[in-house]
Amino acid sequence: MTLLRRIFAPAPAIPRLPDSEIPSKYQHYRWQILESTFIGYAVYYLVRNNLPVVGKEMSAELHYSYEMLGNILAATALSYGLGKFVMGILSDRSNPRVFMAFGLALTAIINVLFGASSDYSLQIVLWAVNGFVQGMGWPPCGRSLGHWFSIKERGTYFAIWNIAHNIGGGLVGMVAAQSALYFGWRSAFYIPAAIAAVGAVYLFLRLRDTPQSVGLPPIEDFKPEDYKDAKVDEDAERERTTYELLFKDVLSNPVLWLFASANFFVYIVRYGLLDWGPTYLKAAKGASLSDGGWSTLIYEFAGIISTLLMGWLSDRLGGRRGMVSLLCLLPISGSLAGIYMTPPGYLWLDLLFFSIIGFFIYPPVMLLGVAGLDFTSKKAVGTAAGFIGFFGYAGRTFEGKILGMLADGPGWNAVLLFLGGSLLGAILLLLFTWNLKPKQ
C-alpha cells in the first residue's frame, strides 16, 4: 500500500523558476496539458464505447438477446459511474501523469481479454471491471485543467478539451466497425486495445501535474503583466484529506446535488442513442453494419462546434452553465419526435436527426461537469467530477437495463418515448439552475 501511494502521489512542488521565464513557460505547459489530456481521453473512448458498435454482430454469434446485451451495458455503466466517483477521490490525491496512463494501460488489457471471451458471465464481469478502470480517465483531466485554467476561462478551455469526447466517440464508431467488417467482431476490441497501449506510454511521457510541480505559480497567481505582486492563498493550495474532499467539499454542497441529478437524465438521453443507436437503425430501420457505424460518427462529431460555442457563451454569461445547458436541451425534443415518426427507408433523415441531437446534447454533458468544478475547491475537482459523473452513469445503467427490456418487449417506439420522458426530467431540474453562477 505504501508503495502504491508513492507511485501515485502528487508531484512535489519545486523551486519557482526565474521571473523572466514564467510567462512563456506557463503558456507552453498550459497547451501541453490541454493537448495531452485531450488525446489521452479521446483514446480512452476507443476502449470503452466499442461494444455498442458491434453489439448486434457479437449477439448473433454468441446467441445473446437484446436484454442480455443491455445487461452487459448496464453493468459497465454502473461500474463506470462508481469508478468515476472512487477514482475521482483518488485522483485528487494522485499525480495525473501516472494515474491516467496506468488506467489506460489496464483498460487495454481488459479489452483483449473481453474480445477473446465467449462466456456471457465472464464478459459481464470483464466489461464491468473495464468500466471501473475507465473511471481513471475523466478525474485526472478535471484535476489538471482545474489547476492550469482559471474559473473565468474554464468554459472555453473545457469546451476545447471536451471535443475529445466527440473525436474519440466518433472514431470508435469507424475503428470498431471497420475492424469488425474486415477481421470479425473480436478485432473491434483488439485493435483499439493496441492503440490504447501506445496512448498510455504517450500520457506518461507528456502529461504533468500542478504548475507548482514544474516551478510555476498556481493559476490564480499567474498574471503575465503583474504576477510578482500576487499573493498565494495557502489554504486553497493545501492538499485535502479524503474526508474533506468527500464530505466537506462535495456531499454537503446542495448545488452539486442539483447538477448531478440533472446529469442523471442527460446521460440517459446521451447514451440511449449512443449505446442503442447503431442497433436501433439496423433492427428498426434496415441499416447496414457500416451505416450503424456512421450514426455514431455523425452523432459524436456534430457536437464539436456547439460545445466550443456554448462553452464560450457560458463564460460570457458569467458562468451560468445551467442556463446554457437548459437551452441546449430544447431542440433535442423535436429531433426525438422526428426519429419516432420517420419510416424505414429514410436513413438520411434519421442521420440528420442524430446529428441535431449530437449537436445539442454534448454542451450540457460538458457544462454540467464544469459547473461541478466551479462550485467546489480546485483541490476537489476530481471528487466533484466523479460525483456528478456517478449520477450520469447511474442514468446510463438505468438506460442500459430498461432500453434492452423495452426493445425486446414493447419495441423501439417505447424506447424513444422513454428517452423523451428522461429529457423532460432534465429540463425541469435545470430550471432551478437558471441564474446560478460561480464566484470569480
Residue 235 pLDDT: 52
Most confident of the ranges 26-35, 56-65, 220-229, 344-353 = 26-35
Residue 197 pLDDT: 96
The grid coordinates of residue 241 equal 484529506
User: Higher pLDDT residue, 401 or 171?
Assistant: 171
Of residues 46, 303, 56, the one with CA closest to residue 189: 46
**Which range (4-8, 66-70, 113-117, 389-393) has the least confidence?**
4-8
Cell 505547459 belongs to which residue?
29
Please say whether the beta carbons of 230 and 221 come within 8 A. Answer: yes
Residue 435 Cα distances to 313, 383, 400, angstroms: 14, 24, 33
Q: Give the pLDDT band of residue 97 (cuts 50, 70, 90).
A: very high
Residue 91 pLDDT: 86
**Which range (20-24, 156-160, 379-383, 403-407) has the least confidence?**
379-383
Domain 16-218+246-433 fold is Growth Hormone; Chain: A; (1.20.1250)
Averaged pLDDT, 203-221? 87
Of residues 417, 334, 323, 411, the one with CA closest to residue 367: 323
What count of Cα atoms within 13 Å lies in the side-chain half-sphere of residue 391? Answer: 22
Residue 137 Cα distances to 104, 106, 237, 269, angstroms: 7, 11, 23, 22
Please say whether the beta carbons of 313 and 189 come within 8 A. Answer: no
Please say whether the beta carbons of 36 and 203 come within 8 A. Answer: yes
In this model, does residue 100 exceed pLDDT 80? yes
Residue 221 pLDDT: 67
Burial pattern 315-344, b for ≥16 Cβ within 10 A else e, equals: beeebbbbbbbbbbbeebbebbebbeebee
Residue 44 pLDDT: 95
Residue 222 pLDDT: 63
Residue 223 pLDDT: 60
Q: Give the pLDDT band of residue 385 (cuts 50, 70, 90).
A: confident
User: Higher pLDDT residue, 264 or 53?
Assistant: 264
The grid coordinates of residue 104 equal 489506460
Q: Give the pLDDT band of residue 285 (cuts 50, 70, 90).
A: confident
d(CA 391, CA 264): 5
**Which range (28-42, 152-166, 236-250) has the least confidence?**
236-250
Strand segments (E) across 78-206: none
Contacting residues for 280 by C-beta, under 8 A, at least 6 apart: 407, 412, 415
The grid coordinates of residue 138 equal 475523466
Residues belonging to the chain:
440
In the three-class reduction of DSSP (H, G, I as helix; E, B as strand; rest coil), residue 240 is classed as coil
> pLDDT (tens digit, 9 = 90+) per residue, 18-71?
888 888 888 899 999 999 999 999 999 999 988 888 887 888 888 888 788 888
User: Higher pLDDT residue, 52 or 325?
Assistant: 325
Please say whether the beta carbons of 53 and 229 come within 8 A. Answer: no
**Which range (112-121, 217-226, 415-424) has the least confidence?**
217-226
Please, what is the average pLDDT of the chain?
84
In this model, does residue 215 exceed pLDDT 70? yes
Where does residue 177 rank: exposed (0-12), middle (13-18), buried (19+ CB within 10 A)?
buried
Most confident of the ranges 281-290, 371-380, 393-402, 410-419 = 410-419
User: Higher pLDDT residue, 38 or 387?
Assistant: 38
Averaged pLDDT, 408-413? 82
Q: Which amino acid is at 223?
A: K
pLDDT > 90: percent of the chain: 28
Residue 290 pLDDT: 62
Q: Give the pLDDT band of residue 425 (cuts 50, 70, 90).
A: very high
Burial pattern 258-280, b for ≥16 Cβ within 10 A else e, equals: bbbbbbbbbbbbbbbbbbbbbbb
Contacting residues for 330 by C-beta, under 8 A, at least 6 apart: 427
Residue 226 pLDDT: 40
In the three-class reduction of DSSP (H, G, I as helix; E, B as strand; rest coil), residue 364 is classed as helix
**Which range (248-252, 284-288, 435-439) has the least confidence?**
284-288
Residue 277 pLDDT: 76
Q: Which amino acid is at 235?
A: D
Where does residue 255 rank: exposed (0-12), middle (13-18), buried (19+ CB within 10 A)?
middle
Most confident of the ranges 194-203, 343-352, 363-372, 386-395 = 194-203
d(CA 38, CA 44): 10
In this model, does residue 184 exceed pLDDT 80? yes
Where does residue 59 rank: exposed (0-12), middle (13-18), buried (19+ CB within 10 A)?
middle
In the three-class reduction of DSSP (H, G, I as helix; E, B as strand; rest coil), residue 184 is classed as coil
In this model, does residue 212 exceed pLDDT 70? yes
The grid coordinates of residue 303 equal 457536437
Tell me the whole-structure pTM to 2 decimals.
Answer: 0.76
d(CA 433, CA 322): 5
d(CA 397, CA 393): 6
Q: Which amino acid is at 87?
A: M
Residue 437 pLDDT: 78
